[in-house]
Amino acid sequence: MSAADDEYDLVTLGAGSGGVRASRFAAANYGAKVLVVEHPFGFVSSETIGGAGGTCVIRGCVPKKLLVYSSQFADEFFDSKGFGWSMSASPTHSWEEMIAHKDKEIQRLNTTYNNILKNAGVEYVEGRGVVVDPHTVEVQIPGGGTRRIRTKNILVAVGAVPTRIPVEGSELAVTSDEALALDSLPQGSIAVLGAGYIATEFAGIFKGMGKEVQLMYRGDKVLRGFDEECRDQVQENLEKRGTQIMPGCNPTKIEKKGDGFTLHYKNAAGEELSMDVGLVMMATGRKPRTYNLGLEAAGVEMDDIGAIKVDEHSRTTVPSIWAVGDATNRVNLTPVALMEGMAFAKTCFGGEPTVPDYTFIPSAVFCNPPMATVGYTEEGAMKELGGELDVYTSKFRPMKYTLSGRDEKTFMKLIVHVETDRVVGVHMVGPESPEIMQGIAIALKCGATKAQFDSTVGIHPSSAEEFVTMRSKTRRVMGTGTSKL
Ligand code: FAD
Ligand code: NDP
Tell me the domain boundaries of the chain: 6-161+287-349, 170-284, 363-474
pLDDT digits 0-9 by tens, 430-474:
999 999 999 999 999 999 999 999 999 999 999 999 999 999 999
Task: Provide the strand spans (E) within 341-434.
Answer: 363-365, 371-375, 386-396, 410-417, 422-429
**Cα–ligand 1 centroid distance for 328 (angstroms):** 12
Q: Is the CB of 333 under 6 A from ligand 2?
A: yes
Position 5 scores a pLDDT of 47
Q: Is the CB of 196 under 6 A from ligand 2?
A: yes
**Cα–ligand 2 centroid distance for 335 (angstroms):** 18
Position 346 scores a pLDDT of 98
The protein residue whose alpha carbon is closest to atom 26 in ligand 1 is 61
- Helices marked H in 284-390: 295-298, 334-349, 378-384
Q: Judging by beta carbons within 10 Å of its beta carbon (0-12, 13-18, 19+), is residue 449 exposed, middle or buried?
A: middle
Give dist(CA 326, CA 320) in Å, integer.
19
Give dist(CA 42, CA 51) in Å, integer.
6
The protein residue whose alpha carbon is closest to atom 4 in ligand 2 is 196
For ligand 1, residues with CB inside 6 Å are 13-19, 37-39, 45, 50, 54-56, 60-61, 64, 128-129, 157-159, 176, 198, 289, 293, 325-327, 332-335, 337, 366
**Cα–ligand 1 centroid distance for 160 (angstroms):** 6
Position 484 scores a pLDDT of 86
CATH, domain 363-474, list 3.40.50.1980, 3.40.50.720, 2.60.40.10, 3.30.390.30: 3.30.390.30
Q: Is 12 strand, coil or helix? A: strand
Backbone angles phi, psi at 61, to 5 degrees: -45, -50
pLDDT digits 0-9 by tens, 82-116:
999 998 888 999 999 999 999 999 999 999 999 99
Q: Note every long-range contact of 253-262, with CB atoms under 8 Å and residues 24 or more positions apart, other chains counting.
A: 253/167, 253/168, 253/169, 254/167, 254/168, 254/169, 254/170, 254/172, 254/173, 254/280, 255/169, 255/172, 256/169, 256/172, 259/186, 259/187, 259/188, 260/186, 260/187, 260/188, 261/169, 261/172
- Alpha-carbon torsion, ordered 113, 204, 68, 93, to 10 deg: 120
Regions of the chain with pLDDT less than 70: 1-6
Position 6 scores a pLDDT of 58
Task: Provide the strand spans (E) within 278-339.
Answer: 279-282, 286-288, 321-323
* Identical fold, 6-161+287-349 and 363-474: no
**Cα–ligand 1 centroid distance for 57 (angstroms):** 8
**Cα–ligand 1 centroid distance for 10 (angstroms):** 20
What is the secondary structure of 93-126 as a DSSP string?
A: --HHHHHHHHHHHHHHHHHHHHHHHHHTT-EEEE
The domain at 170-284 falls in which architecture?
A: 3-Layer(bba) Sandwich (3.50)
| Structural contact between residues 423 and 414, judged by C-beta atoms closer than 8 angstroms | yes
Would you tell me how many other CB atoms lie within 10 Å of the CB of residue 444?
20
Indicate the residue type of 126: E
Annotated binding site: 65, 129, 194-201, 285, 326
Position 2 scores a pLDDT of 44
Ligand whose nearest atom lies closest to the CA of 61: 1
Position 283 scores a pLDDT of 98
The domain at 6-161+287-349 falls in which architecture?
A: 3-Layer(bba) Sandwich (3.50)
Which positions ≥6 away from 158 have C-beta within 8 Å?
Answer: 13, 14, 16, 288, 289, 290, 293, 327
Give dist(CA 449, CA 146) in Å, integer.
58
**Cα–ligand 1 centroid distance for 21 (angstroms):** 13
Indicate the residue type of 442: I
Q: Is the CB of 194 under 6 A from ligand 2?
A: yes
Q: Is the CB of 285 under 6 A from ligand 2?
A: yes
pTM: 0.97
Q: Is the CB of 433 under 6 A from ligand 2?
A: no
**Which atom in ligand 2 lies closest to the alpha carbon of residue 250?**
20
Q: Is the CB of 283 under 6 A from ligand 2?
A: yes
Position 117 scores a pLDDT of 98
Position 7 scores a pLDDT of 86
Q: Is the CB of 180 under 6 A from ligand 2?
A: no
Q: Is the CB of 332 under 6 A from ligand 2?
A: yes
Ligand whose nearest atom lies closest to the CA of 67: 1
Task: Give the H/E segment covering residue 202.
Answer: helix 197-208
Ligand whose nearest atom lies closest to the CA of 373: 2
Annotated binding site for FAD: 65, 129, 326
Q: Judging by beta carbons within 10 Å of its beta carbon (0-12, 13-18, 19+), is residue 55 exposed, middle or buried?
A: buried
**Which atom in ligand 1 lies closest to the alpha carbon of residue 54?**
9
**Which atom in ligand 2 lies closest to the alpha carbon of residue 331?**
34
Q: List active site positions.
A: 460
Pocket test for ligand 2, best of 198, 224, 366, 438 (most atoms within 8 A of CB): 198
**Which atom in ligand 2 lies closest to the alpha carbon of residue 198?**
26
**Cα–ligand 2 centroid distance for 3 (angstroms):** 46
